[in-house]
Amino acid sequence: MNLREFNRVLRQTLFLPILLLLALAGFAAWQILRSASALQAIDRSDEFTTQLIELQKLIIDQETGLRGFQLTSDPAMLAPYQAAMGSINKSFDSLHQQLSGRANQNQRLAVARDRYQLWLGFAESLLNKDPATLKDPQLNQRGKHLMDNVRAAMDDLLKAEARVRKRRSDKALGLERHEFITLVAVALVVGILLGLFTRSRLRHVSRTYDATLLELKMQAEEIYERGQWLQTTLESIGDAVVACDNEGRVVFMNAVAEALTGWTGQEALGRQLREVFRIVNEETREEAENPVDKVRRLQTVAGLANHTALISRQGKEYVVDDSAAPIRGQDGEMTGIVLVFRDVTDAHRTEAALIAGEKLAIAGRLAASIAHEIHNPLDSVANLHFLMADEADPEKRAEYLHLAQQEVNRTMQISRTLLSLYREPKAPVPVDLKELAEGVLLLLERRLLQQNIHVDRDYSEPCVVEGFPAELRQVFTNILVNALEAAGNNGRIRVRIDHAPAEELRCVGVLVEVTDSGPGISEQAEQNLFQPFFTTKGEEGTGLGLWVSKGIVQKHGGTIRIANSHDEQLRGACVRVYLPARTMASASTRATAHVA
């Protein structure tokens, strides 16, 4: 029998007796209500009789006051007569309301009231007569006869109500005896049934319990075997795994985690994770926030920051990448934390080499143009120097010297632009994006002239952001070289730099838009543009330019998007780069993390 069936039997054993007892209680309550109703009927009869007696007393008081006035002719004797007048009418009305639904008694009460009204009319006429005639025996005899009729009607009412009360009392006593017998009989039957039912259910529960216990034992063995299998799986996977309880104490480590941290599972068991998993910033050497503490604070999945190094127990250092996630129970409450991390030291070095290689690739692609741009001014300087050697006119010599200085300045500007691809400040500095874009276009000037590509410039003033100039120049070099190659001979490129207002998900910054007149981007290429090593240039491309550029832009807190242009004159690709006016980037967050 499964657990559901076991619970069903338990519920039957518990709730059926309760339902029977509730039914017995309901029956008893019904009987009690019947008895209470009978007793209330008796109480109503007693109340009616009491009020009827009070009414008789008031009428007698009226008669007594009238007789006293007849005998003495003293108006003071009429005080009881007058005092009882208002109360008698109210008593009649009250008695009439109590007799609602009782036609016989209502009829008797109406007779009594009519006879009282006759006597009252006699009394009122007597009071209006000459005091000398009040002692007339005939008047006294008539008044007595009318009052006797009132008393007879009242007595008839009392006797009838007494009979009603007796019937009600007999009925109540009968109900009490019947209820007692019925309750005893029902209680005995219910008790016997409950005993038999409970006995059978308890036997069934006992058998079910034994069967369930055996089943649970088998399930426990299965769960144990499954747990051993899962533990073996965790110990065998290639990533390091550390599980902690809700307080951050280590409860499990696999072999990879033991190798990287230098702690064995037994040694780390029960220790705080920050003691076993010691991490620092690779460049600043400051202690990094423990991912378990971050998960406990955020109550969600959390990962390490870039450039995080794990220092093992023996002092060996690894660059690691990790994620920590909460372990939640069935009620949704966090019961523990699992940390998964891996050694990415070699990948980190490879990535840095790729980025450096991409810089060299950019320099290589620009080498021919730069050599030509530098060679032309140097030729001009040599020619001017030759002319100055034979020139005697001071004004001509000064003019030649000024022209030579211009060519030297141009050569120095090109040289500084090239060197700035590799020189980098240690902290973000103000960068004029217009000046930066013009410097990149200066390096590409020879290729633009050779291919007869026209560049439209649309700059707002000023467009300054915080950042690393060399890295941003690398980004725009990649973008402009791609635009130049896409536009082809006799093509057009538009470079627009404008302010970007604050929006819901970004702050104030600058938007740079580069649009070309090339064929645009295919749907397949659009989905893979920012993947490393993806290129549409064949052997001529490395596939790293946009990947590196996206990492740099994201490090500065910006975004980069590429799509086909909707401009009728320029239907090629449109690259939109947003950069915030103020960046959180620093020298310790160099672009080594790239999102695909």
Average pLDDT for the chain: 78
Coil, strand or helix at 55: helix
**pLDDT tens column, 352-407:** 666 656 555 555 555 555 555 565 567 667 766 766 777 777 887 787 687 677 66
Tell me the pairing of strands 240-245 and 278-281.
unpaired
Q: Looking at residue 514, what is its pLDDT?
A: 93
Report which of residues 450 and 542 the model is more confident about. 450
Of 594, 593, 557, 596, nearest to 577 by C-alpha is 557
Of 250, 254, 253, 289, nearest to 273 by C-alpha is 250
Give yes or no for residue 216 having a pLDDT over 90.
no
Q: What confidence category does residue 287 fall into, taking pLDDT thresholds of 50, 70 and 90?
A: confident
Coil, strand or helix at 371: helix
CA distance 356 to 428: 20
Coil, strand or helix at 578: strand
Report which of residues 173 and 542 the model is more confident about. 173
**pLDDT tens column, 236-261:** 677 888 888 878 888 888 888 888 88
Assigned token pair, 115: 């006879």
Q: Looking at residue 347, what is its pLDDT?
A: 65
Percent of the chain past pLDDT 90, that is, above it, reads: 5
Mean pLDDT of 514-542: 73
Beta bridge partners of 245: 336
Mean pLDDT of 434-446: 81
Q: Looking at residue 131, what is its pLDDT?
A: 67
What are the structural domains of the chain? 3-210 (1.20.120.1730), 237-343 (3.30.450.20), 351-589 (3.30.565.10)
Give yes or no for residue 493 having a pLDDT over 90.
yes
Give yes or no for residue 592 having a pLDDT over 50.
no
Q: Looking at residue 513, what is its pLDDT?
A: 92
Q: Looking at residue 596, what is its pLDDT?
A: 32
Among the ranges 333-347, 419-433, 527-541, which has the highest mean pLDDT value? 333-347
C-beta of residue 447 within 8 angstroms of C-beta of residue 488: no
Q: What confidence category does residue 577 fall into, taking pLDDT thresholds of 50, 70 and 90?
A: very high
CA distance 307 to 280: 9
Candidate from 78-82, 176-180, 221-225, 284-288 with smallest mean pLDDT: 284-288
Q: What confidence category does residue 536 fall into, taking pLDDT thresholds of 50, 70 and 90?
A: low
Q: Looking at residue 379, what is its pLDDT?
A: 60
Among the ranges 271-280, 506-515, 581-590, which has the highest mean pLDDT value? 506-515
Q: What is the pTM of this model?
A: 0.39
Q: Which amino acid is at 424?
A: E
Q: Looking at residue 132, what is its pLDDT?
A: 66
Mean pLDDT of 555-574: 86
| Separation in Å, CA 165 to CA 146, 171, 172, 466 | 29, 10, 10, 105
Q: Looking at residue 497, what is its pLDDT?
A: 93
